[in-house]
Structure 1
Amino acid sequence: MNMMEKISFYGALFGAKMINHGLHLFKSAGTSLPGLVALKISSNFLSFLSKYCKKDIVTVTGTNGKTTTSGLLAHILKMSDNTVLHNEKGANMLSGIASSLAVNYKPFSSFDYAVLESDEAYLTKLYDYLKADYLLVTNLFRDQLDRYGELDTTAKKIQEAVTKNPELKLFINADDPMLLELGKDNKRIYFGFDNITYKNSIQESQAPAEAVYCPCGSDLFYEKRYYAHIGRYCCPECKKTRPEPDYKGYAVIYDDFSEIYLKFKQDNQEKELCFKTNLVGLYNAYNALAAISAALELKISPDIIQKGLDTYKSIFGRAEKFNVKGKNVLVQLIKNPTGASEVLRTVNSSTCAKLLIIINDNYADGRDVSWLWDADFEMLKDYPHKIVVSGVRAYDMAVRLKYAGFDASKIEVKNNIKEAFYYCLDSIEQGEQLLVMPTYTALLEMQKFARK
């Protein structure tokens, strides 16, 4: 940086920090405002900041799991005595990323890693401003069709970003055929599960499999389908197959934790390790596998990785557990059919005494809530307790539950989110658990009161 660039950069940095301080002073949300200010003052703010990174910049994208995966990876790296910049609040568009980095960066210092969660549609813009070393892609599912269009469109957006950086190394979910063609000219490191065993009360999904096709246009054949279109697949026509994972997992899913047995090659030696994660469900086992694989590739020791898994605290709303007046609350964000179905698989009437589903249709949620009809709410038809629905589209959710076969007399509609939350809390006993399933803006509203 020349002198004028340095003046511009530090002006942007201190301007963003002052805005952030003011927001905290007046208890305002506005997580992207400091970043907007920084980028306005210095359009190359992110590019200048990235020059202070001593090791690697890891970007994380995908439909589901990017917040948990990036958070877990950043936490593991910190446990290994690294300084890490991370947009931990999940603000994953350009201004949100700039905000997180500006607020957390210590002036005139360097840092070891940056772990940056990026919205799929904004990844190309992000790469206009900084050169990443790695891109981790969790999966691609139908998500907010009114914003991003079909799956192929999202895959093309990610490929456009990858094309900008031929030296970019990719961590890719081998079990997702939507990612089969991604980054063919880049170094690709694959993770995936060869088998999954359930030793719990989690239900098997009855939802229809999500249809995706081979790049040649033919139907895929699945040796094992784990959920939606995720699994071990091949094409009978062109003979393309699921890539052999570099980090090959075997998951054992219990009610409250999962074990991941992992085979991989490091320093020309075959290794086998077992990791335990307290994150619940198969979808979180995939998140953990992605973070573990990336950490191992970055030469973090297995002991440190396990310590990171043991001490990781979920981001608000991402399988986060907390206690209110002696009553347990578990919050699981839902935003598309596949993610919602995987959360529904974890609903256990013996541990979940009350269920609150909050559906909004604001821009950040996606205006089109027809995805509710593709999620496997049929798994709730035998749920023995009452279900409370809330939010802007509470009645749409109530209708969906009725058509799923759930007893309509046990559905309660309470439009006000705060009232619904405390009503549910008051209806359960000490030590019992309330499961809350909110969409994104409903989650943001909950943050204002649920943990106070």
Structure 2
Amino acid sequence: MRIRLAVIVGRVVRALARLRGGGSAIPGNIALRIAPGFLEHALGSMALGVVFVTGSNGKSTTTNMLVAVLRAHGMRVFTNPSGANLPQGIASALLATVPLDGRVRDDLAVLEVDEAYGVGLAERLAPTDVLLLNLQIDQLNRFHEPDRVYRMLEQIAARARRRLIVNAADPNTADLGRGARADQQVVVFDVAPAALAASPHGVAPAPRLTSGAGETLPDAEVVVESTAGSAAVLTVDGERASVALPSRGLHYAVDAAGAIATARSLLGDRFSIETASTALGSLETVYGRGEVLDAKGQAIELVMMKNPPSLQLNLDSLGRVPQCVMIAVDEGTPDPSWIYDTDLSMLDHVDVVTGTKAHQWATRLAYAGIPVGTVIEDFRTAVDAFLSLDTPDDGPKVGIVNYELMMELRLMMGYLDLEGGS
């Protein structure tokens, strides 16, 4: 009875929330208050299990890729919208599709999960498979030190009932694979040394946090050999394959390798690299991650500033010194002091700096000798000023934005699809 009530009330609240545009975790929060066991009930009887995708960066993109590849092979997959990786976000996603009995009818669930909340979710949902992408310096105001995140990932990995999929190019996730239980299958994906060397900052992992002792990792089943623009060459079981990426950069190729390694493990003999390549080739970017917005007839490419590695790797992958740049950062980045460790050599100027952290960014740019056109704290006024600038001839205007202002910018430009249309 409580489950049925949670679904009905949650759906009403969800419908009201969507009237104002975008998604909301409030419906899921209410559903969980009415029925605290809603998640376990909904996902506890999945025929082929529950897959967790976690790590410091790349969760949304990799989840999107993995779901697309699995669906292209005919699997029915439930997933949570990009970024909705807390319990209430997953519950909100469930409200979009579950019948009144509250049980998901799909074959498999693929869930992006936050590193911290993933510990409790792993206890509640007992994932069959866990994909560990990376461990990078991330949100120091929240996590403080990377060894705390290592312990979180370790606890999530320990809950995997079937297999761990780990990134051998990241020393810490590789060590978590070495420490797997005897009854856990370990699947490995990797990056070839030449591909790492071609990226100015490699894959930007956190320093190794353990001795590296433990079992030897199995050979990598998927390896990133090279990237060129928004395409990559992968070796899958010894055979080379070209795949399209949703955006430029080695980090997107690593996400694709993780998705393909996981899909191959889940599908077994049914897996086809041709089918996977076709699925990735038709995939759109996850909102805000290398996305190009139509902003009142102008194109703005979004460069995410979620944490130091995400900013660095996104800057590295620009492929050009952009002619027209805006930096927008607000209180969603409580302590932006880490920007002093970021290599900003891809920028030779910034036209507009905005947000409540604008003056901190302007100071950082001054220390780097990078000229700033104007500082405008009010975001909407700054966006208008940015759009009034001449259209560059080298491609889209570039907006370097933190997560919160990325979402605000999308809403300002009429993009109301934060739930992916679900």
Q: Fold conserved (TM > 0.5)? A: yes
Among 268, 281, 305, the alignment partner of 1:334 is 305
Query: Quick check: 387-396 or 174-183, which moved more?
Result: 174-183
Question: Where does the alignment leave 5 or more consecutive residues of structure 1 unmatched?
Answer: 1-6, 217-234, 265-269
Higher relative contact order at CA 8 Å, sep ≥6: structure 1 or structure 2?
2
Alpha-carbon distance between aligned partners in 2 of 1:28 and 1:281, rounded to the nearest angstrom: 31
Give runs of aligned pairs for residues 5-154 of structure 1, distance below 5 A.
7-25=1-19, 27=20, 31-107=24-100, 110-154=105-149
1:400 maps to a residue whose letter is R
Say if 1:23 and 1:153 are closer, same or farther in 2 by CA, change over 3 A: same
The answer (yes or no) to whether the contact 1:360–1:392 under 8 Å persists in 2 is yes
Partner secondary structure for residue 104 of structure 1? coil
1:231 equivalent in structure 2: none
1:172 equivalent in structure 2: 166
Alpha-carbon distance between aligned partners in 2 of 1:428 and 1:74, rounded to the nearest angstrom: 39
Give runs of aligned pairs for residues 267-306 of structure 1, distance below 5 A.
271-299=239-267, 300-306=271-277
Matched, 1:259 2:226: no
Alignment deviations for residues 352-409 of structure 1 (CA, whole Å, 9 cap, x no partner): 33111111233xx3x22111111212342xx2x5432111101111111111221x3x
Partner secondary structure for residue 97 of structure 1? helix
Matched, 1:441 2:384: no
Alpha-carbon distance between aligned partners in 2 of 1:211 and 1:99, rounded to the nearest angstrom: 33
Partner secondary structure for residue 59 of structure 1? strand
1:429 equivalent in structure 2: 391
The answer (yes or no) to whether the contact 1:251–1:258 under 8 Å persists in 2 is no
The answer (yes or no) to whether the contact 1:195–1:250 under 8 Å persists in 2 is no
Alpha-carbon distance between aligned partners in 2 of 1:18 and 1:9, rounded to the nearest angstrom: 14
Partner secondary structure for residue 279 of structure 1? coil
Residue 107 (structure 1) shift: 4.6
Residue 116 (structure 1) shift: 0.7
Partner secondary structure for residue 366 of structure 2? helix
Query: Quick check: 423-432 or 339-348, which moved more?
Result: 423-432
Say if 1:211 and 1:17 are closer, same or farther in 2 by CA, change over 3 A: closer
Alignment deviations for residues 300-351 of structure 1 (CA, whole Å, 9 cap, x no partner): 322221121111111210111232344222112212111111111123446x
Provide TM-score, normalisation by structure 1. Answer: 0.82
Matched, 1:354 2:324: yes
Alpha-carbon distance between aligned partners in 1 of 2:312 and 2:246, rounded to the nearest angstrom: 20
Alignment deviations for residues 89-116 of structure 1 (CA, whole Å, 9 cap, x no partner): 3111111111112223345661122111
The answer (yes or no) to whether the contact 2:292–2:300 under 8 Å persists in 1 is yes
Alpha-carbon distance between aligned partners in 1 of 2:160 and 2:283, rounded to the nearest angstrom: 33
Question: Where does the alignment leave 5 or more consecutive residues of structure 2 unmatched?
Answer: 416-422
Residue 429 (structure 1) shift: 2.3
Partner secondary structure for residue 388 of structure 1? strand
Supply the RMSD in Å over aligned alpha carbons: 2.7
The answer (yes or no) to whether the contact 1:63–1:143 under 8 Å persists in 2 is yes
1:387 equivalent in structure 2: 351
2:185 equivalent in structure 1: 187
Greater fraction strand: 1
Greater fraction helix: 2
Alpha-carbon distance between aligned partners in 2 of 1:166 and 1:204, rounded to the nearest angstrom: 34
Say if 1:278 and 1:32 are closer, same or farther in 2 by CA, change over 3 A: closer
Provide TM-score, normalisation by structure 2. Answer: 0.87
Say if 1:451 and 1:289 are closer, same or farther in 2 by CA, change over 3 A: farther
Residue 76 (structure 1) shift: 2.0
1:228 equivalent in structure 2: none
Residue 422 (structure 1) shift: 2.9
Alpha-carbon distance between aligned partners in 2 of 1:61 and 1:294, rounded to the nearest angstrom: 13
The answer (yes or no) to whether the contact 1:357–1:390 under 8 Å persists in 2 is yes
Say if 1:417 and 1:101 are closer, same or farther in 2 by CA, change over 3 A: same
Alpha-carbon distance between aligned partners in 2 of 1:347 and 1:84, rounded to the nearest angstrom: 33
